[in-house]
Amino acid sequence: RWTELFENEIMVAALIDRVTFRSHVLNMNVKDSYRLEQTLARAT
């Protein structure tokens, strides 16, 4: 959804390329949130 924020797709691709260069990309797309689960457990 980066292209919704920035108009130029080429610039978005260049930005992402530079941000992720020599970095560790973590997949944060998990179904269950540990923090949300802990917050809800404390609320009850």
What pLDDT was estimated at residue 26? 79
| CA dist., res. 4 & res. 27, Å (int) | 21
For 7, the domain range is: 2-43
Domain count, the chain: 1
pTM above 0.75, yes or no: no
The pLDDT tens digits of the residues spanning 3-43 come to 788 888 898 899 889 988 998 877 778 778 888 888 889 88
pLDDT at 1 over 80: no
SS3 labels along 3-21: HHHCCCHHHHHHHHHHHHC
Taking a C-beta distance cutoff of 8 angstroms, is the pair 7, 15 a contact? Answer: no
Cα–chain center distance at 11:
18
What pLDDT was estimated at residue 18? 92
